[in-house]
Structure 1
Amino acid sequence: MNISRQLQRLALNEDINFLLTNRVPRAALTRFMGWFSRIRHPWVRDASMAVWRAFTDLDLSDARTTSFASLHDCFVRELKPGARPLDARADVLVSPCDAIVGACGRIGDDPGAQVFQAKGFPYPLTDLLGRSTRATETINALRGGSYVTLRLTSSMYHRFHAPTGLTLHHVTYHSGDTWNVNPIALKRIERLFCKNERAALHLSLEDGTPLLLVPVAAILVASMRLRAVDVALNAQYRGPHELPCHARYDKGSEMGRFEHGSTILVFAPPGFALCDGVENGHRIRMGEALLQRL
């Protein structure tokens, strides 16, 4: 067995993985990685990418370019035109990103609108979004609807796109921790998504139907950039947490990016259902069918 395979097997050991990615100074390590990944030196870049490849299945065959000045440039790479065909059906919401589907299903009718991060680990949308007037209105509209957890691994394409034609009305940034968001941590840390840094994107479809996307940051990742908000949303951000905006997107248009991999939570109101094949563990690409209007 080669060294790369041995390292990957070691990383998959749940206890070791949890200790190495959580029981560390998460905030300091994340800040360091943000700085280190931007170093534009060929030796640093090549050594960093060699380590990255040793632990992941990094594939750059669909990238617009395979020549990068830094590790960060590879993280936020763009794709070749046509690399992600869109499901053009008008009644289908496509996946906003490349991902592995995590917990998904029906949003609870209870006052907190309960959903799950993993089997046996519920969390209420009231904890995820807060209790502002806007959050309460959104939760009321989503009760009884559908949700999907989309986990981006570190080697995946890290930009996210509009699942259909829509308008972004408001962004609420929630500062927080930087726990790992892999399945190992989700089975151990209660209400993890409610603790990590995240941005709630309040959206509406062309007919006014509400939709909610929540990009969630994680260790080594705690920075998000939205095209509609010209600032990096991370632990160093000191601006207002309520960010009104008005941005119109066509289906498949880029909305933003992570500075690494992480998670996007998708919430749709009653009247939508998961498309065939969308279940825990399913690999999906941006542009493929995710939710369908009933």
Structure 2
Amino acid sequence: MTLRATLARIAAQEDLNFLLTNRIPRRLATRFIGWFSRIENPLVRDASIAIWRLFSDLDLSEARTTRFRSMHDCFIRELKEGARPIDPDPGLLTSPCDAIVGASGPIEGTRVFQVKGFPYGLADLVPDAATVAQVRDGTYVTLRLTSSMYHRFHAPHDCRVESVTHIAGDTWNVNPIALKRVEALFCRNERAVIRTRLAAGGHPLVLVPVAAILVASLRLRFLGTDLDLRAQRPRTLPCDARLAKGEEMGWFQHGSTIIVLAPPGFRLCEGVAEGTRIRMGEPLLRLPDTPA
């Protein structure tokens, strides 16, 4: 058995994985990695990326460049032109990111699931009654980014960003093991609520990027600033940014999760199911009143 296979097997053991990622000082580890990943010393950079490769399926063949200043620079890498074609069908909402599809399906009133048997309320995830009312009885999709994936996310349709709210919280790991053990995990973690309105039909659409261990910063390109999700007080930033389908919205420092919340009438596209991989720009949801 190769070294990589051995390490992967160890990492896959649920109890050990949960212990290593969630029983350590999460905030301290997150702050340390935030600092360490930005070190631009070539020896530190090269060793860090080499170790990262041992524990993951990191593939840099699609990266715009393979010369990085730091591990962080590698995390937030851009891709070559055309590496992620955007489905042009105006009746389709495309995935905002590369991801593994998690729990998804109809929103039961205001209840959704992080995994089967683990429900949580939208009011706990999105503390704004008007926003919850917009997506009540709609459709949701959970998109999990792993550490080796492309970490930038993009507009799923032509839209206008109306506001962004940042909510302080914890930094639990968001992998499947933790989702089976920590109740309402997404509602505990630090997150942002991005409220958008689609150009097509004026439909509201909500994206909720959720931070995780080693991830406590989010960059939204249309705001032009680094937003530190470790801030203690929630704050809402009004916005009037118009984005084209596929246009970059921002990026995480590391892997994490984006929850997509759509109002009634939206339907999951064929092939979108828990455990499947999806790439940014591929069909995710079908808009109301469009043929399958």
TM superposition score category, shorter chain reference: over 0.9
Contact map agreement 1:223 1:233 (CA 8 A) in 2: yes
Contact map agreement 1:175 1:234 (CA 8 A) in 2: no
Gaps of 5+ in 2: none
Match of 1:22 in 2: 22
Structure-2 separation of matches of 1:151 and 1:88: 24
Q: Which amino acid aligns with 2:112?
A: V
Flag the 1:236–1:116 CA change in 2: closer, same or farther, 3 A. closer
Match of 2:178 in 1: 185
**If the length of structure 1 is used for normalisation, what is the TM-score?**
0.96
Determine whether 1:209 maps to 2:203: yes
Q: Which amino acid aligns with 2:38?
A: R
Deviation string 1:222-264 (CA, Å, 9 cap, x unpaired) is 1111112233223554786111111000000000100011000
Contact map agreement 2:205 2:263 (CA 8 A) in 1: yes
Match of 1:73 in 2: 73
Could you tell which deviates more after superposition, 118-127 or 220-229? 220-229
**If the length of structure 2 is used for normalisation, what is the TM-score?**
0.96
Q: Which amino acid aligns with 2:258?
A: I
Match of 2:112 in 1: 115
Superposed displacement of residue 95, structure 1: 0.2
For 1:128, which of 121, 125, 131 is the aligned residue? 125
Which ranges of 4 or more aligned residues in structure 1 deviate by more than 6 Å?
none
Partner of 2:21: helix, strand, or coil?
helix
Partner of 1:229: helix, strand, or coil?
coil
Computed over aligned residues only, the root mean square deviation of the Cα atoms, in angstroms, reads 1.1
For 1:282, which of 276, 284, 291 is the aligned residue? 276
Superposed displacement of residue 4, structure 1: 1.1
Structure-2 separation of matches of 1:236 and 1:108: 31
Gaps of 5+ in 1: none
For 1:163, which of 153, 156, 161 is the aligned residue? 156
Equivalent positions of 1:1-294 (< 5 A) are 1-109=1-109, 113-130=110-127, 135-206=128-199, 207-237=201-231, 241-294=235-288
Contact map agreement 1:197 1:234 (CA 8 A) in 2: no
Contact map agreement 2:194 2:208 (CA 8 A) in 1: yes
Percent pairwise identity: 62
Superposed displacement of residue 212, structure 1: 0.3
Structure-1 separation of matches of 2:230 and 2:206: 25
